[in-house]
Amino acid sequence: MPTPSKKRKGSSPLAAIVLAAGKGTRMKTVRAKVLHRVCGRPMVYFPVKRALEAGADPVVVVVGHQGDEVEAALRAALPGAPLHFARQEKQLGTAHAVLAAKASLRGYRGPVVILSGDTPLLTTHTLASVVGARTGPQSLAFATMDLENPAGYGRVVHAPGKGPALIVEEKDATPEERQIREVNAGLYVADAEFLWTTLAQVDAKNAQREFYLTDLVALAADGPGAVAVRVSPLEAQGVNDLEDLSLAIRAMTRRIASALMKSGVTLEDPERFDADDGVEVGPDTIIEPSVRLRGTTRIGSGCVIGQGSILADTVVGDRVEMLPYCHLDRARVGDGCRVGPFSRLRPEASLAEGVHVGNFVELKKTSMGKRSKANHLAYLGDATIGADVNVGCGTITCNYDGEKKHPTRIGDGVFVGSDSILVAPISIGKGAYLAAGSTLTENVAAGALALGRARQVNKNGWARKRAAMKKSGKGT
């Protein structure tokens, strides 16, 4: 077997198999089911992560449909984790899928936990409780749940006075069996040796002509014994179609929201809050309704994040006041900044401490030094802006000449008058003043005043003269 990557001192061995080869026909999408996203992660990430947290080493993921993408997504999300990937070229059923993992576990003796790639809500606690429920080293434990509407799930049939006798799939069930509301949750723990010898006996004589993993229960019941562990449907409900997916996303989001509230974050309306798995928010931060936090976003403490703002892979310091409807993507906002409403910070926008960025201001690959301000209507791209700079309303950095991007440098303390056009590459020295309405193509020295506009001409009395011309029929 693959050598466990970490020394599991004192703890008993555990291996995991995660089934993720199916297409997910009921999703009706080209994308394989387990790649659909739940809170920023492919669905299959969650059962794999939970297996790792329960101490499984290795975790063998059985892939098939879009297998390369599934493997790449998991390796990227869990670098360094003891993951193995086994191919199931043809998806002939869940038992067949488990057998595809056999070679990856060659020589391994001990318990194997089998999880479905389509049950993202399972918790490590529940997983551990099923692992611990086996009555003997040879027996099988599996999770069941009671559902109001058991349609689509395998029903658990009990032998009177004994334990579970078998699982019957809906398509093979009699009308009486279909009335059973205790269903198979798709989580099993069995000894490796039992698993391989028993799976060899499973055939495909059923309505779907598939090799059912659920046949293990009847085979264990006849032999070493099977035990059913009831778990909460909130955790074990599978995702089979896009409606199930939306419910799983909502449930996962609610968990993230609860954890944030427990750690001192105010969510004004947790039902109107979206966050990806892994986002961080500091205590005493207030999040207004309809905010969305994505990817690796981290927000400090004592901030207010205004209604409708969307932050992706963005780092926000402490005591930041973000007014409603801002969009930030891969940006950095320093302590004490004020941003918005309606600001757009694109990748590599970086604000030092105490910067103000106001409405309809767009920044791309642009840094602003301490206390600098761009309060209204500006586009600042590929610009390095110093401290204490005032960028007037309507300022534009012309960073693109149709072929290449060029930089703009603005020194500390510069005053950029309203409606300035800075044609890059251009450099403005410290403390310079740029007159309002200027189009600037030349560098400006420190402390200079730059005017780049036509001189104003006033023609006194012009309106009166025009009216007189019109009256006499000479003018238009």
- Report whether 407 contacts 382 (CB < 8 A): yes
Minimal distance, residue 43 CB to ligand UD1, in Å: 9
If you compute the radius of gyration of the chain from its CA atoms, what whole number of angstroms results?
A: 32
Instruction: Give the count of beta carbons closer than 10 Å to the beta carbon of residue 106.
Output: 10
Minimal distance, residue 95 CB to ligand UD1, in Å: 7
In angstroms, the CA 417 to CA 391 distance is 7
CA quadruple 17, 113, 31, 329: dihedral positive or negative? negative
Taking CA atoms, 92 is separated from 88, 152, 186, 401, in Å, by 9, 18, 17, 58
Omega before residue 283 within 30° of 0, cis: no
Q: Which residues pair with residue 374 across a beta bridge? A: 357, 391
In angstroms, the CA 255 to CA 310 distance is 19
User: Which residues would be at the binding site for ligand UD1 (CB under 6 A)?
Assistant: 19-22, 34, 62, 88, 91-94, 96-97, 116-118, 153-154, 167, 169, 183-186, 212-214, 238, 240
Residue 265 interacting partner from Ca ion, ligand UD1, none (CB closer than 5 to 8 Å by kind): none
Taken as a whole, the chain contains a residue count of 476
Residue 130 interacting partner from Ca ion, ligand UD1, none (CB closer than 5 to 8 Å by kind): none
Minimal distance, residue 100 CB to ligand UD1, in Å: 8
Instruction: Give the count of beta carbons closer than 10 Å to the beta carbon of residue 306.
Output: 22
158 is a catalytic site residue? no
Q: Could you give the 3-state DSSP secondary structure of residue 30?
A: coil
The residue among 116 and 307 lying less far from ligand UD1, judged by its C-beta, is: 116
- Residue count, binding to Ca ion (CB under 5 A): 3
Residue nearest to ligand UD1 (CB): 154
Residue 212 interacting partner from ligand UD1, Ca ion, none (CB closer than 5 to 8 Å by kind): ligand UD1
> What is the x/- site pattern for Ca ion, positions 79-118, by CB under 5 A?
---------------------------------------x
Residue 22 interacting partner from ligand UD1, Ca ion, none (CB closer than 5 to 8 Å by kind): ligand UD1
Among 238, 308, 358, 429, binds Ca ion (CB under 5 A): 238
The residue among 240 and 390 lying less far from Ca ion, judged by its C-beta, is: 240
User: Among the options 84, 158, 376, 406, which is catalytic?
Assistant: 376
Minimal distance, residue 213 CB to ligand UD1, in Å: 4
The residue among 121 and 434 lying less far from ligand UD1, judged by its C-beta, is: 121
In angstroms, the CA 188 to CA 198 distance is 14
Residue 238 burial class via C-beta count within 10 angstroms: exposed 0-12, middle 13-18, buried 19 and up: buried
Minimal distance, residue 15 CB to ligand UD1, in Å: 17
Q: Cite the active site residues.
A: 376
Q: Interface residues with Ca ion (CB under 5 A)?
A: 118, 238, 240
